[in-house]
Structure 1
Amino acid sequence: MSVKHYKPSKYLSPYIDRYFVCSQTKSLPLILPGTGLEVLFHIGTPLSIDNKKLDVAHVICPREKLIFDSANNVNYIAVRFHSGGFRHFTSIPHAQIVNQYLSVEEIWQNEGKELLDILFSLPSVEEKIKLIDFFLCNQLKKHHFSDIVNWDLVIKTLYKNFNSISLHELAHQSNLSYRQFERIFKQKFGVSPKKFQRITRLQKTVKQVLLSSNKHYLSTALDNGYYDQSHFIREFQSFTKLKPSEYFVTKNFENHFYYRPLS
């Protein structure tokens, strides 16, 4: 896999982690449940899932494991959003995006179509990324809104402190009953706060293990709040239908989508 990373403009950096260009001549790795979202712009033949070809540009927002069909010569530009960030770029409810593959045209209608028409006429990747960045800046200006509750802070706090934060305390800090907090959180982010917390724990554990290139995962799992090995195995299997020992193998250490922060 060949991957090149680009920083978003300063205006977008609170919401977008990075742009990256992926080129690969073998199948993409298993995608585990995550907390973020990506928009993919395919350069060449789009990917497919269960023999159904995806659109040339589309969202992926996996809260369940995801397996793309085998493909050769994969090549695309991805926009990786921070957790909860994408909701400021569209009026579509997050519940309609989670585990779906909405196209750029479905999300942004004629503006999305115009973006793609121009995008695929540009000769260089850098020009394409510059256009995507400009387009997203305009969508942010159009769709960004402020809530009475600072939900950006809520999800950032939960993401960074998943191992120590009490959801009931987070609800109290938001001046909401827990039932209100749970209901609104799910409306805005497509999953319950508890499930988000569980996915974050799993995601961070897997990322740390893969980036350390150490197949002995137990100490990392314990550091991230799992009670013991059995607890981690149960959680891993509930999200992936795999045992950790089946996932932490050489091919997955060499082929995955977990990256270190951009400097």
Structure 2
Amino acid sequence: MKKTHISTFASAPFEQPWFVLNSSNYSVIASAHPAISHFYALDVAQSANMMLAIPDGCVDIVVDCDSTQPSARVCGTPLQARQVELLENHHYFGVRFTPGVIPGFINALAEELTGQELNLLEVTPLAQRFFEEVIKTPLLSEQMQVFNSYLAPAALHKTADLTAAVIQTVLQHKGDIRVQQLEQLSGYTTRTIHRQFTQDTGMTPKAFCRIIRCQAALHSINSEQDVSFSELAMELGFTDQSHFLRDFKKLVSTTPHDYQQRIIRGAYTQRIKQSRETAVHA
């Protein structure tokens, strides 16, 4: 029997934990837009180290608001932990899309985004005004409104119903589901599911399940004070604890125990400033 509440996990924002731990200030505003998980802002600490992006199944827009050399990029989900460049003492504004969603205004194939970073100004003609305005705006709530004015109306991408159903099912099962089960639930063949899902998201269903299962583990470690890793491995459907440890380390770049100690020392949950404001569906 699963202990954690599936609905709580499915609606939780997928933060990048190394971004949070290496920031001197990290703020979040939830979004009511169906394509957007949340908006965030961070100031990278002077002592920042181990700045990694981990697989979360999400596309991000990340704007460096530096006054001399600002930049904007769209970042696809990595498939394993990888180093990213976020500069010390720089202020960043970010938009995290919901898992599996490719923004409708991006002129790139889903597979071209996975594991890649692209110049936002080169992949959408709508970005220039947004970029010019957002780098002049210091507050997260105001930056969010700039995004809502220029890019949110075109953010929804027409995803196949099959892909949308698979995403929802995988989230509900916290990644602990096999493609053969998806075949039985959807009525489509494994081959059709694989082709359509990969075309829409840039990931295979198997890779997406693996990512979401790891995110479920992170959610448990982040939100629960006393986590048994052996019980967590069993809850998430790993064959044994060793399998869980190997998978976690590859995706998060450290062991569950080391990660837990880092978030305790770094006062992880206290670092995240949750705004009571929710971005309206533009």
TM exceeding 0.5 = yes
Give the aligned partner of residue 158 of structure 2. Answer: 145
Contact in 2 for aligned 1:27/1:69 (Cα 8 Å): no
Give the aligned partner of residue 133 of structure 1. Answer: 148
Range with greater deviation from structure 2 (18-27 or 69-78): 69-78
Give the aligned partner of residue 17 of structure 2. Answer: none
2:254 and 2:143 map into 1 onto residues whose CA distance is 38
Instruction: Tell me the CA shift for residue 242 of structure 1.
Output: 4.1
Matched, 1:198 2:210: yes
- What pairs with 1:3-42 in structure 2 (closer than 5 Å)? 3-8=26-31, 10=32, 12=33, 14-25=34-45, 26-27=47-48, 29-42=51-64
| Number of positions where the alignment pairs a residue of Structure 1 with one of Structure 2 | 249
Deviations 1:73-124 (A, max 9, x none): 1311111111122243434211111111112112213x21222123323464
Deviations 1:116-175 (A, max 9, x none): 1233234644332201012223313xx63363x342222121122145544223234444
RMSD (Å), alpha carbons: 3.2
Instruction: Tell me the CA shift for residue 192 of structure 1.
Output: 1.1
Deviations 1:199-253 (A, max 9, x none): 1111210232133354753322322222321121222244356444444433676
Identity %: 20
For residue 102 of structure 2, give the secondary structure of its aligned residue in structure 1: helix
For structure 2, list consecutive stretches of 5 or more residues without a partner in the other structure: 1-23, 277-282
For residue 84 of structure 1, give the secondary structure of its aligned residue in structure 2: coil
TM-score (norm 1): 0.79
1:223 and 1:260 map into 2 onto residues whose CA distance is 30
Instruction: Tell me the CA shift for residue 24 of structure 1.
Output: 3.1
Give the aligned partner of residue 94 of structure 1. Answer: 110
- What pairs with 1:237-248 in structure 2 (closer than 5 Å)? 237-240=249-252, 242-248=254-260
For structure 1, list consecutive stretches of 5 or more residues without a partner in the other structure: 47-52
Greater RCO structure (CA 8 Å; 6+ sep):
2
Flag the 1:86–1:243 CA change in 2: closer, same or farther, 3 A: same
TM-score (norm 2): 0.74
Which residue identity is paired with 1:199? I
Contact in 1 for aligned 2:26/2:272 (Cα 8 Å): no
Structure having the higher strand fraction is 2
Give the aligned partner of residue 189 of structure 1. Answer: 201
Give the aligned partner of residue 85 of structure 1. Answer: 101
